[in-house]
């Protein structure tokens, strides 16, 4: 029932709360489809979430758009003259809860001004969602004709095997999109606690979800559903 409510909200372009797991980041993200995000949604993420506002993208779409993992890009650059970058590229053991990050490029849409305002970020995010939809429908797209980098919206590339390979917010949110039958491009933003300086506790995130009538779903709910389905 919990998962069904979250899927229905996502299907209708509404925001939900997604908790990964106690033995992982232990964080709750505000999540909404990229195609549905409005400036008010970005403002909510900025004010009530406080973490990075990122767009998770299905691996197949990222491949067709030519979006690399940032670590791979830096590794390539470091091998072609910029040797000083080698020491800062993430290595095995750098991330205590995972083997690697999902970060790809940071972009702005070319129609934005500074790129950081709620209006600008919503525009960039909507256009990213459209780009994902277009390439997954078989259309060829020159990503650079619409976007520039560096920018203010971080792109996250999901693992090719999704939850069989990695169980971060990136893969969980994309799996939710697939379950909802929508374009697999999702905006995610961590919820932080200004009093403790840490991630917002799961209990406080649950309270927020009740106050604001937003479904709260955990990664384990998605994984349990996948274990009984051939669609994951």
Q: Which of 158, 183, 160 is nearest to 172 (CA)?
A: 158
Domain spans in the chain, listed from the N-terminal domain onward: 2-227
Look up 54 and say whether it is catalytic: yes
- Contacts of residue 39, defined as CB under 8 A and 6 or more positions apart, other chains included, come to 117, 118, 119, 121, 122
* Burial of residue 88, with CB atoms counted within 10 A of its CB: 0-12 exposed, 13-18 middle, 19 or more buried: exposed
pLDDT value of position 230: 66
pLDDT value of position 65: 97
Model confidence, pTM: 0.93
For the CA atoms of 66, 164, 215, 155, what is the dihedral angle to 10 degrees? -20
Which listed residue (20, 25, 27, 29) is catalytic?
A: 29
Look up 190 and say whether it is catalytic: yes
Q: CATH homologous superfamily of domain 2-227?
A: DHBP synthase (3.90.870.10)
Look up 165 and say whether it is catalytic: no
Q: Which of 172, 153, 174, 71 is nearest to 106 (CA)?
A: 153
Largest CA distance in the chain: 54
- What gap in Å lies between CA 105 and CA 49, rounded to an integer? 22
Which listed residue (25, 27, 54, 109) is catalytic?
A: 54
Q: Which of 219, 188, 211 is nearest to 3 (CA)?
A: 219
pLDDT value of position 1: 82
Look up 152 and say whether it is catalytic: yes
pLDDT value of position 231: 63
Which listed residue (20, 58, 59, 108) is catalytic?
A: 108
pLDDT value of position 76: 81
Q: pLDDT per position in the chain (232 positions), as tens? A: 889 999 999 999 999 999 998 878 889 999 999 999 999 999 999 999 999 999 999 999 999 999 998 888 778 877 777 777 777 777 777 777 776 789 999 999 999 999 999 999 999 999 999 999 999 999 999 999 999 999 999 999 998 888 787 888 999 999 999 999 999 999 999 999 999 999 999 999 999 999 999 999 999 999 988 877 766 7
């Amino acid at each position: 029932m919990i998962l069904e409510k979250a899927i229905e909200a996502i299907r209708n372009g509404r925001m939900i709360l997604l908790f990964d797991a106690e033995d992982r980041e232990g964080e709750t993200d505000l999540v909404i489809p990229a195609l549905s995000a409005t400036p008010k949604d970005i403002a909510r993420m900025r004010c009530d979430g406080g973490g990075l506002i990122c767009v998770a993208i299905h691996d197949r779409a990222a491949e067709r758009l030519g979006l690399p993992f940032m670590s791979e890009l830096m590794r390539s650059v470091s091998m072609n003259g910029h040797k000083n970058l080698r020491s800062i590229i993430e290595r095995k053991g750098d991330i205590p809860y995972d083997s690697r990050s999902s970060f790809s490029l940071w972009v702005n849409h070319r129609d934005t001004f500074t790129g950081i305002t709620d209006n600008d970020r919503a525009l960039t995010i909507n256009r990213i969602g459209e780009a994902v939809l277009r390439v997954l429908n078989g259309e060829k797209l020159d990503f650079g004709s619409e976007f520039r980098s560096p920018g203010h919206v971080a792109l996250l590339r999901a693992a090719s095997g999704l939850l069989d390979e990695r169980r971060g917010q990136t893969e969980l949110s994309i799996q939710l999109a697939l379950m909802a039958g929508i374009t697999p491009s999702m905006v995610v933003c961590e919820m932080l606690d200004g009093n403790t300086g840490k991630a917002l506790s799961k209990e406080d995130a649950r309270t927020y979800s009740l106050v604001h009538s937003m479904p709260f779903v955990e990664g384990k709910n998605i994984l349990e559903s996948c274990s009984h389905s051939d669609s994951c």
